[in-house]
Amino acid sequence: MKHLLTAALIALASPAAAADKLTLMLDWFVNPDHAPIVIAQDKGFFRDAGLDVEIVAPADPADPPRLVAAGKADLAVSYQPQLHLQVHEGLPLVRVGTLVGTPLNCLMVRADGPVKSIADLKGRKIGFSVAGVEQAIVAALLDRAGLTLDDVQMVHVNWSLTPALLSGQVDATIGGYRNFELTQMRMAGSEGRCFYVEEEGLPAYDELILIANRDRLKAEGPERDRINRFMAALERGTQFMLNHPEEARSLFAAHAPDLGDELNTAAWKDTFGRFAISPAALDSGRYARFEAFLVDAGLVPEALAVDRLAIDPGAAP
């Protein structure tokens, strides 16, 4: 009995195992697109998985993939279309999870403006933020209407998509999200209209994904184990949102002062059904089809095998 008591006292005195640190770079400031991450953090699901997750918003949205590639962050929220191009550029990145499993991007115009169809874009200006893939998307949309990029003027407006459209600087924008920019238009006293890219000829894709450094992700070892635990906790966050939507909404709004404002409240509603229910699960066909699209668009020389671009980290190697 004495030995059992001594063992119990030793166990109580021993410190708990330290949580494994993991740094996650967001793609932008915290917003409803990141809701399952916020819920998993605030509900303690990452802690339950033995993780100490540091969530960092970037100073520049272009930074997160390059920080992961340089080994300065463990995971980053990024975008499937950009991942394809970055891997072709030689960055050692790989998709390990999906956050938002549908496109959010749309070609947006003013509802009261002259553009009623894609064909009406001829001779008009289209604002964009990210060079490369967004021109390819516009080219694919125009092609169905018998137009090419030579028939429009692409205008780089940085990240000021909605102001550029509202001011008349451009007649349409590409790269704005249907769950944010449409509400911004409405709040500014105007109405926008979206041409949804997946309804206009583009292959469907995962809008927001989680990427890791391929070189650090061994078939077996601590890196893959930490990422698997992260994905399991993220899945718990998504399940909690689905099972307890009102509590989840209140928890999210309390995370930061502006997350309960009009824009974020509307974005929460517009984003809610788009989260991946099983974040680690991989739809290989999506990556193969988008890779083929990029080849056809002339943006990449040849199609890479899907496992160069994306994996399910919990699947057998």
The contacts of residue 127 (CB under 8 Å, 6+ apart) are: 155, 156, 157, 161, 164, 165, 169, 170, 172, 173, 174
Q: How far is CA 41 from the centre of its chain?
A: 18
pLDDT digits (tens, 9 = 90+) for 171-184: 999 999 999 999 99
Phi, psi of 109 (to 5 degrees): -130, 170
Cβ 153 vs Cβ 124: under 8 Å: yes
In this predicted structure, the answer to whether residue 198 has a pLDDT above a threshold of 50 is yes
pLDDT confidence bin for 17, thresholds 50/70/90: low
In this predicted structure, the answer to whether residue 18 has a pLDDT above a threshold of 70 is yes
Cβ 128 vs Cβ 157: under 8 Å: yes
Tokens coding 21: 């640190």
pLDDT digits (tens, 9 = 90+) for 24-54: 999 999 999 999 999 999 999 999 999 999 9
In this predicted structure, the answer to whether residue 22 has a pLDDT above a threshold of 70 is yes
Tokens coding 201: 């000829």
Q: Report the C-alpha gap between 175 and 108 in whole angstroms.
A: 9
Mean pLDDT of 55-70: 94
Question: Looking at this protein, which amino acid is placed at residue 122?
Answer: K
In this predicted structure, the answer to whether residue 295 has a pLDDT above a threshold of 80 is yes
| Same fold: 20-103+206-308 with 106-199 | yes
In this predicted structure, the answer to whether residue 1 has a pLDDT above a threshold of 50 is no
Q: Report the C-alpha gap between 214 and 4 in whole angstroms.
A: 47
Tokens coding 99: 């956050």
**% of the chain with per-residue pLDDT over 90:** 84
Burial 275-303 (b: 16+ CB within 10 A, else e): bbeebbebbeebbbebbebbeebebbeeb
Cβ 110 vs Cβ 192: under 8 Å: yes
pLDDT confidence bin for 6, thresholds 50/70/90: very low
Mean pLDDT of 58-75: 94
In this predicted structure, the answer to whether residue 5 has a pLDDT above a threshold of 70 is no
Cβ 258 vs Cβ 264: under 8 Å: yes
**C-beta neighbour count of 196 within 10 angstroms:** 14
Cβ 236 vs Cβ 40: under 8 Å: yes
Phi, psi of 75 (to 5 degrees): -140, 155
In this predicted structure, the answer to whether residue 2 has a pLDDT above a threshold of 60 is no
Q: Report the C-alpha gap between 15 and 207 in whole angstroms.
A: 42
Q: What is the CATH number of domain 106-199?
A: 3.40.190.10
pLDDT for position 132: 80
Which architecture characterizes domain 20-103+206-308 according to CATH?
A: 3-Layer(aba) Sandwich (3.40)
In this predicted structure, the answer to whether residue 261 has a pLDDT above a threshold of 50 is yes
Cβ 107 vs Cβ 197: under 8 Å: yes
pLDDT confidence bin for 298, thresholds 50/70/90: confident
In this predicted structure, the answer to whether residue 13 has a pLDDT above a threshold of 90 is no
The domain limits of the chain are 20-103+206-308, 106-199
pLDDT confidence bin for 217, thresholds 50/70/90: confident
pTM above 0.85, yes or no: yes
pLDDT for position 220: 62
DSSP character at residue 113: S
Q: Report the C-alpha gap between 275 and 282 in whole angstroms.
A: 14
The contacts of residue 57 (CB under 8 Å, 6+ apart) are: 26, 28, 29, 30
